Structure 1
Amino acid sequence: MNLSASPIQSVDHAVLWLLAGFSTITWALGLLKGVQFVRLKRQDRRFLKRFWSASNLPAAAELVDEAPGAAARVAQAGFAALHTAAAPAGDLSHAIDHQDRLERALRQQVQRERRGLESGLAALASIGSTAPFIGLFGTVWGIMKALDGIAAAGSSSLETVAGPIGAALIATGFGIAVAVPAVLVYNYFLRRLKLTAADLDDFAHDFYSLAQKSSFQVIAHPAPRPAAVQRVREAF
């Protein structure tokens, strides 16, 4: 049993190729998620440093427009909600209390950021949970073939049995070797996700407190982009 054989040659070869594909996906996702979290952390650190250095909330609003990062998008959603609440009443979206509007806009933006960070983790969890069973299936199939070969040979000596059975066990070992990194990578980025979501929740709470301190007054700068205002309105 080896990877040099064609995946369509037999079921056990197909199992090994499938596990090799799972291993490639695991390491690719690990690399992509690592880059995503490192870049996001750098963007949020840069934005929060500038945000908390502002003299007041209107001054901080000038730093938000087009700023990258999850924290910046949370702030954009908050400023868009404040602008929408202060706009002239014209539809049912303006009938909602501005405090509830701001709180809901911040909460929904944090959830959107969380969903974006969760992408790919389900695949890692699936690989980690199914790879050992796929490997076991390959082992069972290989043992069945080995037993058929032993029966056809009419010999049950150790030399006849050990070779085919040992080759069949490779699939189980390969499945475990694929599953362990997938589980470790999944747990690591799940932890990073929870920490990032907690930081965004803290920032959203602080933003709400700042807006409450300023009596939810209109933020004159920057004028929210129409798309941002539309997303806030669609949320209600």
Structure 2
Amino acid sequence: MAADTRARVGPFKSLGTDRGGMEYAVARDGMVDSLEHELRGVVDPDPVGTAMRAVPRHEFVDADHRAYNDRSFEAYGTRVLAPSTAGALVQALAPDPGDDVLIVGAGVGYTAAVLAEIVGAEHVHAIDIARRVVWAARDNLRRAGYPGVLVDRRDGARGLPAYAPFDRILVEAAALDVPAALREQLASDGRLVMPLGAGEQRLATLDAGDEVREGEPVAFAPLLVEGEQGGVPARNRTAREDREHARKHAERRRGWELDWIDWD
């Protein structure tokens, strides 16, 4: 799978002869080597490590070679996960080739690209509540060689029912419980991975039909619902609406609430 994708990505076919490409490839291998090292054991060499070696992370993080440092970035009002975090999520998800995958919280598209290397781009569906993030993810994925990944603007808690059921669902945002819609959209033998909790979060795994299993502590932004995303203009009531609201409220008051009645 990885070899096919590399052949599809035009600028990266000649990594051995292009100095800039070679430097990125070396940096990428060093990044994945550290994640596979026995002292860390974040990802297994196959398939997650192989997939991460194939994805040009610098196309998703505007930071040149620093894109391959194990650190997070901020972009488009969202957090770009550190490679170790993204790798741990995909490792926990345990996708197989051909699995239909839903990613809730598309971010800049990097995790979607890693999953595309494993299951195939046409099997990856990513949604995000922020329109600006969706546009960025689409552009990044196209430029990196994964135009077949579907990215749409949706309320993550509602999932993507038109393409359900999904063999794997990955949620890159935290909630107190697994949203009911995502449970319903999980295939009968599927797996869902997401952070659960408020102040203290744990990475949870749900295999369809089983109880939620909580794992390592994590820290993710909360799963937003419609209207909470950044970039949504707030609509203030007009002065007329304020007067009408006050009048209707006054008319609803009864008995002792009416301060103009002389009860004595």
TM-score (norm 2): 0.21
* TM-score, normalising length: structure 1: 0.22
Bigger fraction of residues in helix: 1
Structure number with higher relative contact order (C-alpha < 8 Å, ≥ 6 residues apart): 1
